[in-house]
Structure 1
Amino acid sequence: MPRLLFGLGLIVIILTVYALVDCALFDRSRIRGLPRWVWIFVIILVPVIGPLLWLFVGRGRKRAPVGRMPRTSAPDDDPEFLRGLDREKKERERIRRLEDEFAKLDDADGKSDGKPGKPGKPGPSGATGSAGTTGVDPKKSDPGEGDLPGRRDA
C-alpha cells in the first residue's frame, strides 16, 4: 500500500510540475478561460483537478498557419469566389453563343421554331404546308376541297 501511495503521489507531483511549466511557457494568446496567473494558482492550490483542468480547458488549440487562416472577409473580396463568378459568366456566354448558332442553323434549314416546315414556307421536299404534307399536291392546299378528316364526300 505504501508503494501505491508513493507512486500516486509521484504521478500527482509530475503532473503538477508539467502543468505549471506548460502554463508558464504557453503562448498568451492561446490561454483560454482565465488569465495565466489565475491558472497557476489553480494548478498549485487544487492538487489533482487543477492540472487536469489546465490540460483540458486552459490550453487553447493550435492556430492555423497564416496562409490557412479562415477568411473573415466579404464574398466580393474573396478571389476564389470572384473566379467562380467569372467561370459562371463565361459558361453562360458560351451557352448563349451555342444557342444562337443552333438558331441560325435552324433558320438556314427553314425551321426557325424547331418545328418542321411552317405554313406557307417550302419544307425540305419543296411542298408548301405544315408537317406531313410531303407528297400532297401543292395546287390542292385549300383545306375546303375535301381533304379534311371526317368528311364523307372525300
Structure 2
Amino acid sequence: MALIYQGTHVTIAATKAANPSEGYFSKSPPQYHATRLYHRDAHGTTCHAYTRRTISHFFSSTAATEPSYSLNRSPLLRRRWVFQERLLSPRIIHLGAVEMAWECNEVCACESMGETQIYASEPRWAHTKGLHARNLAAATDERDMQSDW
C-alpha cells in the first residue's frame, strides 16, 4: 500500500461516501446552490457573479456550525484503514457531501473558502494530514503517537 499511495500524483477520495456503492458525486442541498447575480455599471456593461450561502468550513472544528460537514465526521475518514492512505498520499481531493476540498502536507482548501485561514487557536494546517505527519515524526515513544494514530 505504501508504494501505491506514496507514488500517486493525487488521490481522489469519496470522502462523503458511507459505503462503496454510494459513489463519488453528490448534489448539494438546495440551501447551498449558487445564485447568479447581475450588475450593470454606469456604462451599461453587465457582469455577473455566482454567490451561495457560506458552507461550514470543511476542515475546521472550531469554525464549523454544522458538524455533519466537518472533515473528521466524514464517513470515509472515520475508517481506520484510510488513515495510512491519507498520510501516504502527497495530495488528496476530497469529494464531500457539500463541496470538494484539497489537502496536502502544507495546506488545505475548499470551494467555499479557498485556502484555509488561520484561526486564533489553530494554525492553517491543524486539520490536515500534515499535522498528523508532523506529530508522528516528532514522537519519541508509543504514547506520543496514540492520539494521532
TM-score class, shorter-chain normalisation, is under 0.3
Relative to the length of structure 2, the TM-score reads 0.18
Bigger CA radius of gyration = 1
> Quick one: higher RCO (CA 8 Å, sep 6+), 1 or 2?
2
Relative to the length of structure 1, the TM-score reads 0.18
Which structure has the highest strand share of the two? 2
Which structure has the highest helix share of the two? 1
